[in-house]
Chains A and B, each alone.
Chain A
Amino acid sequence: MAGVIRGPTRLSEGRPAAATAATRVWLPPALLPTVLSFAAILLLWVVAAGIAQNPRLMPGPGLVMERLAEGWASGDLQHHLMATLARVAAAFLLAMSIGTAIGILMGRSLLADRLGQPWLLLFLNMPALVVIILAYIWIGLVEAAAIFAVAINKIPNVAVTVREGAKALDPDLAQMARVFRLGRGTVLRHVVLPQLYPYIAAAARSGLALVWKIVLVVELLGRSSGIGFKLGLFFQFFDVASILAYALAFIAIVQLIEWGILQPLDRAANRWRR
Protein backbone atom coordinates (compact mmCIF):
# COMPACT_ATOMS: atom_id res chain seq x y z
CA MET A 1 0.00 0.00 0.00
CA ALA A 2 1.65 3.16 1.21
CA GLY A 3 5.15 1.69 1.26
CA VAL A 4 7.76 3.57 3.16
CA ILE A 5 6.58 6.81 4.69
CA ARG A 6 9.38 9.28 4.79
CA GLY A 7 7.24 12.24 5.69
CA PRO A 8 7.27 11.83 9.46
CA THR A 9 11.09 11.89 9.68
CA ARG A 10 11.16 15.19 7.90
CA LEU A 11 8.38 16.57 10.06
CA SER A 12 9.96 15.49 13.34
CA GLU A 13 13.54 16.48 12.83
CA GLY A 14 14.02 17.37 16.47
CA ARG A 15 12.20 14.30 17.72
CA PRO A 16 14.30 11.24 18.56
CA ALA A 17 13.84 7.46 18.49
CA ALA A 18 10.17 6.61 17.78
CA ALA A 19 9.57 8.15 14.37
CA THR A 20 13.04 7.35 13.03
CA ALA A 21 12.77 3.77 14.25
CA ALA A 22 9.39 3.40 12.58
CA THR A 23 10.81 4.53 9.25
CA ARG A 24 13.82 2.31 9.63
CA VAL A 25 11.74 -0.88 9.95
CA TRP A 26 9.87 0.17 6.78
CA LEU A 27 6.48 0.13 8.44
CA PRO A 28 3.89 2.77 7.56
CA PRO A 29 2.93 4.43 10.87
CA ALA A 30 -0.75 3.95 9.98
CA LEU A 31 -0.27 0.17 10.12
CA LEU A 32 1.35 0.19 13.56
CA PRO A 33 -1.89 -0.04 15.60
CA THR A 34 -3.09 -2.90 13.38
CA VAL A 35 0.11 -4.86 13.87
CA LEU A 36 0.09 -4.21 17.61
CA SER A 37 -3.51 -5.35 17.82
CA PHE A 38 -2.73 -8.60 15.98
CA ALA A 39 0.18 -9.18 18.34
CA ALA A 40 -2.16 -8.67 21.30
CA ILE A 41 -4.54 -11.35 19.97
CA LEU A 42 -1.68 -13.79 19.58
CA LEU A 43 -0.38 -12.98 23.05
CA LEU A 44 -3.80 -13.45 24.62
CA TRP A 45 -4.08 -16.81 22.90
CA VAL A 46 -0.66 -17.97 24.16
CA VAL A 47 -1.46 -16.84 27.71
CA ALA A 48 -4.89 -18.50 27.66
CA ALA A 49 -3.39 -21.76 26.40
CA GLY A 50 -0.71 -21.51 29.10
CA ILE A 51 -3.25 -21.05 31.86
CA ALA A 52 -5.57 -23.79 30.57
CA GLN A 53 -2.75 -26.34 30.43
CA ASN A 54 -5.06 -28.56 28.37
CA PRO A 55 -4.05 -28.77 24.69
CA ARG A 56 -7.17 -30.82 23.91
CA LEU A 57 -9.57 -28.05 24.94
CA MET A 58 -7.37 -24.95 24.47
CA PRO A 59 -4.51 -25.65 22.10
CA GLY A 60 -1.82 -23.01 21.66
CA PRO A 61 -0.80 -21.46 18.34
CA GLY A 62 1.97 -24.02 17.87
CA LEU A 63 -0.36 -27.02 17.89
CA VAL A 64 -2.87 -25.28 15.60
CA MET A 65 -0.10 -24.44 13.11
CA GLU A 66 0.93 -28.10 13.20
CA ARG A 67 -2.60 -29.21 12.28
CA LEU A 68 -2.68 -26.62 9.56
CA ALA A 69 0.56 -27.95 8.11
CA GLU A 70 -0.72 -31.55 8.30
CA GLY A 71 -3.94 -30.61 6.56
CA TRP A 72 -2.05 -28.82 3.85
CA ALA A 73 0.48 -31.64 3.36
CA SER A 74 -2.27 -34.25 2.96
CA GLY A 75 -4.17 -32.01 0.52
CA ASP A 76 -7.26 -32.34 2.70
CA LEU A 77 -7.32 -28.65 3.64
CA GLN A 78 -7.09 -27.43 0.03
CA HIS A 79 -9.75 -29.89 -1.12
CA HIS A 80 -12.32 -28.72 1.41
CA LEU A 81 -11.33 -25.06 1.09
CA MET A 82 -11.96 -25.21 -2.64
CA ALA A 83 -15.30 -26.94 -2.17
CA THR A 84 -16.44 -24.23 0.24
CA LEU A 85 -15.07 -21.41 -1.92
CA ALA A 86 -16.88 -22.75 -4.96
CA ARG A 87 -20.16 -22.77 -3.03
CA VAL A 88 -19.49 -19.28 -1.67
CA ALA A 89 -18.77 -18.00 -5.17
CA ALA A 90 -21.87 -19.60 -6.70
CA ALA A 91 -24.23 -18.48 -3.94
CA PHE A 92 -22.67 -15.01 -3.84
CA LEU A 93 -22.99 -14.40 -7.59
CA LEU A 94 -26.53 -15.78 -7.62
CA ALA A 95 -27.61 -13.63 -4.68
CA MET A 96 -25.93 -10.50 -6.03
CA SER A 97 -27.43 -10.72 -9.51
CA ILE A 98 -30.95 -11.66 -8.42
CA GLY A 99 -30.88 -9.24 -5.48
CA THR A 100 -29.64 -6.38 -7.67
CA ALA A 101 -32.33 -7.03 -10.28
CA ILE A 102 -35.07 -7.10 -7.62
CA GLY A 103 -33.62 -3.99 -5.97
CA ILE A 104 -33.58 -2.01 -9.22
CA LEU A 105 -37.13 -3.09 -10.04
CA MET A 106 -38.43 -2.15 -6.59
CA GLY A 107 -36.55 1.14 -6.60
CA ARG A 108 -37.92 2.16 -10.00
CA SER A 109 -41.50 0.98 -9.75
CA LEU A 110 -43.80 1.91 -6.90
CA LEU A 111 -46.04 -1.04 -7.71
CA ALA A 112 -43.14 -3.49 -7.61
CA ASP A 113 -42.03 -1.91 -4.34
CA ARG A 114 -45.42 -2.40 -2.74
CA LEU A 115 -45.78 -5.93 -4.11
CA GLY A 116 -42.29 -6.89 -3.03
CA GLN A 117 -42.36 -5.41 0.46
CA PRO A 118 -44.19 -8.33 2.19
CA TRP A 119 -41.86 -10.84 0.54
CA LEU A 120 -38.84 -8.88 1.71
CA LEU A 121 -40.24 -8.73 5.26
CA LEU A 122 -40.86 -12.46 5.23
CA PHE A 123 -37.43 -13.43 3.94
CA LEU A 124 -35.48 -10.81 5.90
CA ASN A 125 -36.87 -12.18 9.16
CA MET A 126 -36.75 -15.87 8.22
CA PRO A 127 -33.96 -17.60 10.18
CA ALA A 128 -31.22 -18.90 7.90
CA LEU A 129 -31.51 -22.32 9.49
CA VAL A 130 -35.19 -22.64 8.53
CA VAL A 131 -34.42 -21.87 4.88
CA ILE A 132 -31.60 -24.40 4.86
CA ILE A 133 -33.64 -27.19 6.45
CA LEU A 134 -36.62 -26.59 4.18
CA ALA A 135 -34.41 -26.44 1.09
CA TYR A 136 -32.86 -29.81 2.00
CA ILE A 137 -36.27 -31.34 2.70
CA TRP A 138 -38.01 -30.01 -0.39
CA ILE A 139 -35.18 -30.17 -2.93
CA GLY A 140 -33.11 -32.93 -1.39
CA LEU A 141 -29.57 -33.21 -0.03
CA VAL A 142 -28.00 -31.94 -3.24
CA GLU A 143 -25.60 -29.19 -4.25
CA ALA A 144 -28.34 -27.07 -5.83
CA ALA A 145 -30.34 -27.05 -2.60
CA ALA A 146 -27.28 -25.93 -0.63
CA ILE A 147 -26.45 -23.03 -2.95
CA PHE A 148 -30.09 -22.06 -3.35
CA ALA A 149 -30.56 -21.95 0.44
CA VAL A 150 -27.56 -19.68 0.90
CA ALA A 151 -28.61 -17.36 -1.91
CA ILE A 152 -32.16 -17.08 -0.54
CA ASN A 153 -30.71 -15.88 2.74
CA LYS A 154 -28.72 -13.14 1.08
CA ILE A 155 -31.03 -11.90 -1.70
CA PRO A 156 -33.31 -9.74 0.52
CA ASN A 157 -30.34 -7.83 1.97
CA VAL A 158 -28.96 -7.10 -1.49
CA ALA A 159 -32.40 -6.07 -2.75
CA VAL A 160 -32.99 -3.67 0.15
CA THR A 161 -29.59 -2.00 -0.26
CA VAL A 162 -29.77 -1.70 -4.05
CA ARG A 163 -33.36 -0.45 -3.86
CA GLU A 164 -32.15 2.63 -1.96
CA GLY A 165 -29.66 3.28 -4.74
CA ALA A 166 -32.27 2.80 -7.44
CA LYS A 167 -34.54 5.32 -5.72
CA ALA A 168 -31.71 7.86 -5.77
CA LEU A 169 -30.94 7.53 -9.50
CA ASP A 170 -30.46 10.91 -11.16
CA PRO A 171 -33.59 11.82 -13.20
CA ASP A 172 -31.53 14.36 -15.18
CA LEU A 173 -29.34 11.59 -16.56
CA ALA A 174 -32.42 9.51 -17.35
CA GLN A 175 -33.73 12.44 -19.43
CA MET A 176 -30.38 12.73 -21.15
CA ALA A 177 -30.45 9.02 -21.99
CA ARG A 178 -33.96 9.38 -23.40
CA VAL A 179 -33.27 12.39 -25.59
CA PHE A 180 -30.14 10.77 -27.02
CA ARG A 181 -32.07 7.52 -27.51
CA LEU A 182 -29.60 5.30 -25.68
CA GLY A 183 -30.44 1.59 -25.79
CA ARG A 184 -31.54 -0.34 -22.72
CA GLY A 185 -28.26 -2.20 -22.39
CA THR A 186 -26.24 0.99 -22.75
CA VAL A 187 -28.34 2.75 -20.13
CA LEU A 188 -27.97 -0.12 -17.68
CA ARG A 189 -24.24 -0.46 -18.17
CA HIS A 190 -23.16 3.15 -18.46
CA VAL A 191 -25.84 5.18 -16.70
CA VAL A 192 -27.58 3.04 -14.08
CA LEU A 193 -24.96 0.61 -12.77
CA PRO A 194 -22.25 3.24 -12.20
CA GLN A 195 -24.71 5.19 -10.05
CA LEU A 196 -25.65 2.03 -8.16
CA TYR A 197 -22.06 0.96 -7.67
CA PRO A 198 -21.61 2.24 -4.08
CA TYR A 199 -24.77 0.42 -3.04
CA ILE A 200 -23.80 -2.78 -4.84
CA ALA A 201 -20.33 -2.62 -3.30
CA ALA A 202 -21.82 -2.23 0.18
CA ALA A 203 -24.12 -5.19 -0.45
CA ALA A 204 -21.19 -7.24 -1.75
CA ARG A 205 -19.05 -6.48 1.29
CA SER A 206 -21.64 -7.49 3.85
CA GLY A 207 -22.79 -10.22 1.47
CA LEU A 208 -19.50 -12.06 1.33
CA ALA A 209 -19.21 -12.11 5.11
CA LEU A 210 -22.76 -13.42 5.50
CA VAL A 211 -22.61 -15.92 2.65
CA TRP A 212 -19.51 -17.72 3.79
CA LYS A 213 -20.85 -18.12 7.30
CA ILE A 214 -24.09 -19.60 6.03
CA VAL A 215 -22.25 -21.85 3.59
CA LEU A 216 -20.51 -23.48 6.58
CA VAL A 217 -23.89 -24.24 8.19
CA VAL A 218 -25.22 -25.66 4.93
CA GLU A 219 -22.17 -27.91 4.68
CA LEU A 220 -22.45 -28.98 8.29
CA LEU A 221 -26.06 -30.04 7.78
CA GLY A 222 -26.06 -31.72 4.44
CA ARG A 223 -22.83 -31.87 2.46
CA SER A 224 -19.87 -34.28 2.57
CA SER A 225 -17.21 -31.76 1.61
CA GLY A 226 -16.19 -28.26 2.60
CA ILE A 227 -14.94 -26.54 5.71
CA GLY A 228 -18.36 -26.79 7.38
CA PHE A 229 -18.44 -30.55 6.86
CA LYS A 230 -14.91 -30.87 8.32
CA LEU A 231 -15.78 -28.71 11.32
CA GLY A 232 -18.70 -31.05 12.01
CA LEU A 233 -16.35 -34.04 11.98
CA PHE A 234 -13.83 -32.34 14.25
CA PHE A 235 -16.67 -31.43 16.61
CA GLN A 236 -17.55 -35.11 16.97
CA PHE A 237 -13.94 -35.87 17.92
CA PHE A 238 -13.62 -32.75 20.10
CA ASP A 239 -10.59 -31.85 18.00
CA VAL A 240 -10.33 -28.15 18.91
CA ALA A 241 -6.90 -27.70 17.34
CA SER A 242 -8.16 -28.80 13.92
CA ILE A 243 -11.31 -26.69 14.26
CA LEU A 244 -9.16 -23.62 14.87
CA ALA A 245 -6.73 -24.57 12.10
CA TYR A 246 -9.46 -24.89 9.42
CA ALA A 247 -11.26 -21.80 10.65
CA LEU A 248 -8.04 -19.74 10.51
CA ALA A 249 -7.28 -20.97 7.01
CA PHE A 250 -10.70 -19.85 5.90
CA ILE A 251 -10.47 -16.46 7.59
CA ALA A 252 -7.15 -15.91 5.83
CA ILE A 253 -8.64 -16.81 2.43
CA VAL A 254 -11.60 -14.46 2.90
CA GLN A 255 -9.24 -11.64 3.83
CA LEU A 256 -7.13 -12.38 0.77
CA ILE A 257 -10.24 -12.09 -1.40
CA GLU A 258 -10.97 -8.72 0.22
CA TRP A 259 -7.43 -7.45 -0.43
CA GLY A 260 -6.80 -9.13 -3.75
CA ILE A 261 -10.18 -8.77 -5.47
CA LEU A 262 -12.67 -6.49 -3.72
CA GLN A 263 -10.35 -3.61 -2.86
CA PRO A 264 -8.66 -3.37 -6.29
CA LEU A 265 -12.12 -3.51 -7.93
CA ASP A 266 -13.28 -0.76 -5.61
CA ARG A 267 -10.31 1.43 -6.48
CA ALA A 268 -10.85 0.90 -10.21
CA ALA A 269 -14.54 1.74 -9.95
CA ASN A 270 -13.88 4.88 -7.93
CA ARG A 271 -11.03 6.25 -10.01
CA TRP A 272 -13.30 8.82 -11.68
CA ARG A 273 -14.12 10.52 -8.40
CA ARG A 274 -12.15 13.67 -7.72
Chain B
Amino acid sequence: MLLTPDAGLRAMLTTLWGPGEVEWTHYEHGRGAIEHLFTEPPDLLIVDNDLPDIKGLEVAAIVKSENVYRQLPIILAVSEAVVAESSWCGVEVDDLLITPSSPTRVKALIFLTLARASRSFDANPLTRLPGNSSIIQRIQEMMDRKEDFALAYADLDFFKSFNDKYGFSRGDEVLMMTARVIVTTIRSFTGVKSFVGHVGGDDYVFILPPDTVEEACKRVVASFDSIVPHFYDEEDRARGSIVSTDREGAIKTFPLMAISIAVVFNEGGRLTHYGQASQIATALKKKAKENKKSCYVLDSRGRNAVRENSD
Protein backbone atom coordinates (compact mmCIF):
# COMPACT_ATOMS: atom_id res chain seq x y z
CA MET B 1 0.00 0.00 0.00
CA LEU B 2 1.17 3.45 -0.89
CA LEU B 3 0.05 6.46 1.05
CA THR B 4 1.22 9.69 -0.58
CA PRO B 5 -0.08 12.83 -2.24
CA ASP B 6 3.11 12.86 -4.37
CA ALA B 7 2.10 11.90 -7.92
CA GLY B 8 5.75 11.55 -8.99
CA LEU B 9 6.52 8.95 -6.35
CA ARG B 10 3.37 7.06 -7.20
CA ALA B 11 4.22 7.01 -10.90
CA MET B 12 7.73 5.78 -10.20
CA LEU B 13 6.60 2.93 -7.92
CA THR B 14 4.02 1.63 -10.35
CA THR B 15 6.65 1.34 -13.08
CA LEU B 16 9.13 -0.61 -10.90
CA TRP B 17 7.27 -3.90 -11.24
CA GLY B 18 5.08 -5.18 -14.01
CA PRO B 19 1.34 -5.70 -13.51
CA GLY B 20 0.63 -8.95 -11.64
CA GLU B 21 3.99 -8.87 -9.86
CA VAL B 22 3.22 -6.18 -7.34
CA GLU B 23 -0.12 -4.52 -6.78
CA TRP B 24 -0.26 -1.12 -5.19
CA THR B 25 -3.27 0.26 -3.38
CA HIS B 26 -2.98 4.01 -3.36
CA TYR B 27 -4.40 6.61 -0.99
CA GLU B 28 -3.74 10.34 -0.86
CA HIS B 29 -5.21 10.81 2.62
CA GLY B 30 -4.74 9.06 5.89
CA ARG B 31 -8.41 8.61 6.69
CA GLY B 32 -9.68 5.81 4.47
CA ALA B 33 -6.26 4.27 4.31
CA ILE B 34 -6.08 3.44 8.01
CA GLU B 35 -9.34 1.57 7.95
CA HIS B 36 -8.18 -0.37 4.92
CA LEU B 37 -4.91 -1.14 6.69
CA PHE B 38 -6.77 -2.59 9.65
CA THR B 39 -9.21 -4.69 7.69
CA GLU B 40 -6.91 -5.92 4.92
CA PRO B 41 -3.31 -5.39 6.00
CA PRO B 42 -0.98 -5.19 2.98
CA ASP B 43 2.47 -6.84 2.76
CA LEU B 44 4.15 -3.47 2.92
CA LEU B 45 3.22 0.12 3.67
CA ILE B 46 5.01 3.11 2.18
CA VAL B 47 3.74 6.23 3.88
CA ASP B 48 4.62 9.81 3.05
CA ASN B 49 5.43 11.97 6.03
CA ASP B 50 3.52 14.90 4.52
CA LEU B 51 -0.08 13.76 4.21
CA PRO B 52 -2.76 16.46 4.08
CA ASP B 53 -4.65 15.25 7.16
CA ILE B 54 -2.22 13.28 9.34
CA LYS B 55 1.54 12.92 9.80
CA GLY B 56 3.04 9.80 8.25
CA LEU B 57 4.76 9.07 11.55
CA GLU B 58 1.42 9.03 13.31
CA VAL B 59 0.09 6.45 10.85
CA ALA B 60 3.17 4.36 11.57
CA ALA B 61 2.69 4.74 15.32
CA ILE B 62 -0.94 3.63 15.10
CA VAL B 63 -0.04 0.51 13.17
CA LYS B 64 2.99 -0.39 15.26
CA SER B 65 1.23 0.06 18.60
CA GLU B 66 -1.13 -2.85 17.87
CA ASN B 67 0.50 -6.20 18.40
CA VAL B 68 -1.50 -7.83 15.61
CA TYR B 69 -0.21 -5.36 13.01
CA ARG B 70 3.29 -4.87 14.34
CA GLN B 71 4.85 -7.19 11.80
CA LEU B 72 3.64 -5.03 8.87
CA PRO B 73 6.80 -3.44 7.45
CA ILE B 74 6.59 0.34 7.07
CA ILE B 75 8.79 2.60 4.94
CA LEU B 76 8.52 6.30 5.63
CA ALA B 77 9.00 8.63 2.64
CA VAL B 78 10.62 11.90 3.72
CA SER B 79 12.73 14.66 2.21
CA GLU B 80 16.37 15.12 3.13
CA ALA B 81 15.51 18.31 5.02
CA VAL B 82 13.04 16.53 7.30
CA VAL B 83 15.51 13.75 8.01
CA ALA B 84 18.07 16.28 9.14
CA GLU B 85 15.79 18.06 11.57
CA SER B 86 14.08 15.03 13.10
CA SER B 87 15.07 13.00 16.08
CA TRP B 88 14.63 9.32 15.20
CA CYS B 89 14.61 8.15 18.75
CA GLY B 90 11.56 5.99 19.41
CA VAL B 91 10.31 6.14 15.83
CA GLU B 92 8.74 2.89 14.75
CA VAL B 93 9.31 2.58 11.04
CA ASP B 94 11.37 -0.10 9.37
CA ASP B 95 13.17 2.07 6.86
CA LEU B 96 13.31 5.50 5.23
CA LEU B 97 12.83 6.40 1.60
CA ILE B 98 14.55 9.73 1.07
CA THR B 99 12.76 11.71 -1.65
CA PRO B 100 13.64 12.32 -4.35
CA SER B 101 15.32 8.99 -4.97
CA SER B 102 16.25 6.86 -7.99
CA PRO B 103 14.04 3.92 -9.08
CA THR B 104 16.85 1.35 -8.62
CA ARG B 105 17.46 2.50 -5.07
CA VAL B 106 13.79 2.38 -4.19
CA LYS B 107 13.45 -1.11 -5.63
CA ALA B 108 16.41 -2.41 -3.62
CA LEU B 109 15.11 -0.74 -0.48
CA ILE B 110 11.70 -2.41 -0.84
CA PHE B 111 13.24 -5.83 -1.43
CA LEU B 112 15.46 -5.54 1.63
CA THR B 113 12.66 -4.30 3.85
CA LEU B 114 10.42 -7.22 2.84
CA ALA B 115 13.21 -9.74 3.35
CA ARG B 116 13.98 -8.33 6.78
CA ALA B 117 10.33 -8.47 7.77
CA SER B 118 10.05 -12.13 6.78
CA ARG B 119 13.11 -12.94 8.89
CA SER B 120 11.91 -11.29 12.05
CA PHE B 121 8.21 -12.07 11.74
CA ASP B 122 8.02 -15.24 13.78
CA ALA B 123 11.50 -15.35 15.28
CA ASN B 124 11.71 -16.77 18.78
CA PRO B 125 11.93 -13.79 21.15
CA LEU B 126 14.67 -15.42 23.23
CA THR B 127 16.97 -17.07 20.72
CA ARG B 128 15.90 -15.09 17.61
CA LEU B 129 15.85 -18.34 15.66
CA PRO B 130 13.06 -18.79 13.08
CA GLY B 131 9.82 -19.88 14.75
CA ASN B 132 7.03 -22.28 13.98
CA SER B 133 5.58 -20.87 10.77
CA SER B 134 9.03 -20.46 9.18
CA ILE B 135 9.85 -24.03 10.17
CA ILE B 136 6.66 -25.45 8.66
CA GLN B 137 7.08 -23.35 5.54
CA ARG B 138 10.68 -24.52 5.08
CA ILE B 139 9.82 -28.19 5.52
CA GLN B 140 6.81 -28.00 3.22
CA GLU B 141 8.87 -26.26 0.53
CA MET B 142 11.52 -28.96 0.65
CA MET B 143 8.85 -31.66 0.48
CA ASP B 144 7.15 -29.97 -2.45
CA ARG B 145 10.46 -29.85 -4.31
CA LYS B 146 11.01 -33.54 -3.45
CA GLU B 147 14.42 -32.79 -1.96
CA ASP B 148 16.12 -35.42 0.18
CA PHE B 149 16.64 -34.21 3.73
CA ALA B 150 16.82 -35.27 7.35
CA LEU B 151 14.61 -33.45 9.81
CA ALA B 152 15.69 -33.53 13.45
CA TYR B 153 13.55 -32.66 16.46
CA ALA B 154 15.53 -31.94 19.60
CA ASP B 155 14.26 -31.34 23.10
CA LEU B 156 15.54 -31.42 26.66
CA ASP B 157 14.80 -33.99 29.34
CA PHE B 158 14.30 -32.70 32.91
CA PHE B 159 14.22 -29.08 31.78
CA LYS B 160 11.08 -28.48 33.79
CA SER B 161 12.61 -29.64 37.04
CA PHE B 162 15.64 -27.42 36.38
CA ASN B 163 13.33 -24.46 35.79
CA ASP B 164 11.37 -25.23 38.95
CA LYS B 165 14.46 -25.29 41.08
CA TYR B 166 16.59 -22.54 39.51
CA GLY B 167 13.93 -20.21 38.10
CA PHE B 168 13.05 -19.03 34.60
CA SER B 169 16.03 -16.83 33.98
CA ARG B 170 18.47 -19.71 34.64
CA GLY B 171 16.23 -21.83 32.42
CA ASP B 172 16.54 -19.26 29.64
CA GLU B 173 20.32 -19.49 29.92
CA VAL B 174 20.09 -23.21 29.17
CA LEU B 175 17.76 -22.57 26.21
CA MET B 176 20.21 -20.02 24.79
CA MET B 177 23.10 -22.42 25.29
CA THR B 178 21.22 -25.25 23.57
CA ALA B 179 20.38 -22.99 20.63
CA ARG B 180 24.06 -22.06 20.26
CA VAL B 181 25.22 -25.67 20.44
CA ILE B 182 22.79 -26.65 17.68
CA VAL B 183 23.51 -23.60 15.51
CA THR B 184 27.30 -23.90 15.65
CA THR B 185 27.19 -27.65 15.05
CA ILE B 186 24.90 -27.33 12.04
CA ARG B 187 26.91 -24.39 10.62
CA SER B 188 30.09 -26.42 10.90
CA PHE B 189 28.80 -28.52 7.99
CA THR B 190 29.71 -26.07 5.28
CA GLY B 191 28.52 -26.19 1.72
CA VAL B 192 25.29 -28.04 2.50
CA LYS B 193 21.71 -26.86 2.79
CA SER B 194 20.78 -26.56 6.44
CA PHE B 195 18.27 -24.89 8.71
CA VAL B 196 17.80 -24.38 12.46
CA GLY B 197 14.52 -23.31 14.05
CA HIS B 198 13.17 -22.89 17.58
CA VAL B 199 9.61 -24.17 17.94
CA GLY B 200 9.40 -22.69 21.43
CA GLY B 201 10.30 -23.67 24.98
CA ASP B 202 12.85 -26.46 24.89
CA ASP B 203 11.86 -27.70 21.40
CA TYR B 204 14.22 -27.17 18.47
CA VAL B 205 14.32 -28.31 14.88
CA PHE B 206 17.19 -28.68 12.43
CA ILE B 207 17.48 -29.85 8.84
CA LEU B 208 20.56 -31.34 7.17
CA PRO B 209 21.27 -33.64 4.23
CA PRO B 210 20.60 -37.30 5.20
CA ASP B 211 24.26 -38.34 5.10
CA THR B 212 25.47 -35.70 7.59
CA VAL B 213 22.72 -35.81 10.18
CA GLU B 214 24.04 -38.66 12.32
CA GLU B 215 27.42 -36.97 12.75
CA ALA B 216 25.59 -33.75 13.68
CA CYS B 217 23.49 -35.57 16.29
CA LYS B 218 26.62 -37.10 17.83
CA ARG B 219 28.28 -33.72 18.09
CA VAL B 220 25.21 -31.95 19.50
CA VAL B 221 24.80 -34.68 22.14
CA ALA B 222 28.49 -34.64 23.07
CA SER B 223 28.69 -30.83 23.30
CA PHE B 224 25.46 -30.52 25.25
CA ASP B 225 26.46 -33.22 27.75
CA SER B 226 29.84 -31.66 28.34
CA ILE B 227 28.53 -28.10 28.78
CA VAL B 228 25.24 -28.49 30.65
CA PRO B 229 26.68 -29.46 34.09
CA HIS B 230 28.20 -25.96 34.27
CA PHE B 231 24.72 -24.46 34.38
CA TYR B 232 24.05 -26.13 37.75
CA ASP B 233 25.27 -24.99 41.14
CA GLU B 234 28.45 -26.64 42.37
CA GLU B 235 26.65 -28.94 44.80
CA ASP B 236 24.13 -30.34 42.28
CA ARG B 237 26.84 -30.76 39.70
CA ALA B 238 28.96 -32.77 42.11
CA ARG B 239 25.99 -34.98 43.00
CA GLY B 240 24.88 -35.28 39.36
CA SER B 241 21.25 -34.65 40.23
CA ILE B 242 18.86 -32.07 41.65
CA VAL B 243 16.31 -32.33 44.39
CA SER B 244 13.07 -30.60 43.51
CA THR B 245 9.33 -30.88 44.13
CA ASP B 246 7.29 -32.57 41.42
CA ARG B 247 3.80 -31.63 40.18
CA GLU B 248 2.15 -33.38 43.15
CA GLY B 249 4.30 -31.53 45.65
CA ALA B 250 6.42 -34.54 46.55
CA ILE B 251 10.16 -34.16 46.90
CA LYS B 252 11.97 -35.98 44.12
CA THR B 253 15.44 -36.39 42.72
CA PHE B 254 15.98 -35.59 39.04
CA PRO B 255 19.03 -36.33 36.90
CA LEU B 256 20.92 -33.58 35.08
CA MET B 257 19.31 -32.40 31.85
CA ALA B 258 19.84 -34.42 28.69
CA ILE B 259 19.08 -33.76 25.04
CA SER B 260 16.95 -36.16 22.96
CA ILE B 261 16.91 -35.97 19.17
CA ALA B 262 14.49 -37.75 16.83
CA VAL B 263 15.42 -37.78 13.14
CA VAL B 264 12.98 -38.32 10.28
CA PHE B 265 14.37 -38.95 6.79
CA ASN B 266 12.62 -37.83 3.68
CA GLU B 267 14.15 -39.57 0.71
CA GLY B 268 12.69 -40.04 -2.75
CA GLY B 269 9.72 -37.88 -1.91
CA ARG B 270 8.42 -40.36 0.69
CA LEU B 271 6.69 -37.65 2.69
CA THR B 272 4.36 -35.10 1.22
CA HIS B 273 3.01 -33.28 4.27
CA TYR B 274 4.59 -31.58 7.21
CA GLY B 275 2.08 -33.41 9.42
CA GLN B 276 3.47 -36.81 8.43
CA ALA B 277 6.96 -35.81 9.49
CA SER B 278 5.86 -34.52 12.86
CA GLN B 279 3.80 -37.66 13.48
CA ILE B 280 6.77 -39.96 12.86
CA ALA B 281 8.95 -37.70 14.98
CA THR B 282 6.51 -37.87 17.89
CA ALA B 283 6.65 -41.66 17.88
CA LEU B 284 10.45 -41.65 17.71
CA LYS B 285 10.63 -39.08 20.47
CA LYS B 286 8.79 -41.42 22.79
CA LYS B 287 11.42 -44.02 22.15
CA ALA B 288 14.22 -41.54 22.76
CA LYS B 289 12.59 -40.43 25.99
CA GLU B 290 12.69 -43.93 27.45
CA ASN B 291 16.38 -43.28 27.76
CA LYS B 292 17.23 -40.83 30.54
CA LYS B 293 20.57 -39.95 29.00
CA SER B 294 21.17 -37.79 25.94
CA CYS B 295 20.55 -39.78 22.79
CA TYR B 296 19.31 -39.67 19.23
CA VAL B 297 16.94 -41.93 17.32
CA LEU B 298 17.07 -42.31 13.55
CA ASP B 299 14.02 -43.33 11.58
CA SER B 300 13.95 -45.71 8.56
CA ARG B 301 16.73 -47.23 6.52
CA GLY B 302 17.03 -49.92 9.15
CA ARG B 303 18.58 -47.42 11.49
CA ASN B 304 15.67 -47.22 13.85
CA ALA B 305 17.82 -47.48 16.93
CA VAL B 306 18.59 -45.36 19.96
CA ARG B 307 22.19 -44.18 20.25
CA GLU B 308 23.72 -42.70 23.35
CA ASN B 309 26.69 -40.47 23.77
CA SER B 310 29.57 -42.93 23.82
CA ASP B 311 31.85 -40.73 25.94
B is a partner of A: no
The interface of chain B, by Cβ under 8 A from chain A, is none
